[in-house]
Structure 1
Amino acid sequence: MAFSLDIASVTTLKAEARALREEHARAGTPLSHGAALELVAKAHGYRDWNTARALLPERVAAPVQVGGRVKGTYLGHPFRGLVIGVNLLSDMQHYQVTVKFDDPLDVVKSEHFSALRQRVTATVDIRGISPATTSDGEPHMRIARE
């Protein structure tokens, strides 16, 4: 099952409204919460906030669930494992995911030493891809349900 950040939710629109209010406050033009909600709803193509609220889901689904089996890559190394933690971050678009690998991963590419990891925590977006990348441009983690 694939998810997209293009799918808005009540939670993401409320977060956008809060950010809009803060932006207006910094500019010296205060904006009420209701007015911010209306502006954000219209920016997403809805007639008004009530229409958006009625049609949108409360929250967009997480890419993985606690207790779920997953596969993917971590620092370029393939893995299979168990999700032992998922936290929605404050930007409402990223998740902190903790995975316990079935087999420890040697996350170092050097031939001179090893660094085995059994459990890691990484930030991923709704697609299960880390925004942070290695020096060669590869996302730190790519994760998908098994």
Structure 2
Amino acid sequence: MTQIPSRDVLKAQAKRLRADMKEKGTEMTHAASLETVAHQWGMRDWNTLAAKADVSEIQWYPGQRVSGRYLGHKFDGIIKAARLASSGFWSLTVRFDEAVDVVESQLFTSLRQQINTTVNAQGVSPQKTSDGQPHMVLNTP
């Protein structure tokens, strides 16, 4: 099953559709573009699609306890700051309970107690290490 993106992403799709139609000489209301996007996602109307988008979206918030893997290292911590970007990604500041060594070298260490990261609604960062693993993977609540 394809995951429905956030409402912000769906609204951006509707805005692009409306602009594309106008460029081609066809005027479309904002409401009509929202309904068309809903139909493209297989829903009967915008309200149904918007409700499903809200359900599929995990909310990250300050004070939330989290665990997961950062650069391959297990951690427990707390979200200090969270902001939803219009692209559907979250900008998070995570403070680890115990510092994480972010260096693989045996010759030195570099400990991090707090990091800023970007993740999707499922808690996975788009940035990847050289071996293809996401920088951050949060366990979903």
Decide: shared fold, TM above 0.5: yes
In the TM superposition, what are the counterparts of 1:93-132 in structure 2 within 5 Å? 93-132=88-127
Whether 1:41 and 2:26 are equivalent positions in the alignment is no
Gaps of 5+ in 1: none
Provide the secondary structure at the position in 1 that maps to 2:18: helix
Report if aligned partners of 1:69, 1:145 keep a CA contact under 8 Å in 2.
no
Report if aligned partners of 2:83, 2:92 keep a CA contact under 8 Å in 1.
yes
Shift in alpha-carbon separation, 1:131–1:23, aligned structure 2, 3 A: farther
Higher relative contact order (CA 8 A, sep 6+): 1
Measured on the aligned residues, the alpha-carbon RMSD in Å equals 2.7
Question: Which is worse superposed, 4-13 or 94-103?
Answer: 4-13
Report if aligned partners of 1:5, 1:126 keep a CA contact under 8 Å in 2.
no
Gaps of 5+ in 2: none
Report if aligned partners of 1:62, 1:95 keep a CA contact under 8 Å in 2.
no
Report if aligned partners of 2:122, 2:140 keep a CA contact under 8 Å in 1.
no
Q: CA deviation at 1:41?
A: 1.5
TM-score by length of 1: 0.78
Q: Percent identity?
A: 40
Q: CA deviation at 1:106?
A: 1.0
Aligned length: 139
Q: Structure 2: how far apart are the matches of 1:35 and 1:106?
A: 52
Provide the secondary structure at the position in 2 that maps to 1:111: coil
Question: Which is worse superposed, 9-18 or 96-105?
Answer: 9-18
In the TM superposition, what are the counterparts of 1:20-99 in structure 2 within 5 Å? 20-24=17-21, 27-29=23-25, 31-49=28-46, 52=48, 56=51, 59-60=54-55, 61-91=57-87, 93-99=88-94
Q: CA deviation at 1:127?
A: 1.1
TM-score by length of 2: 0.80
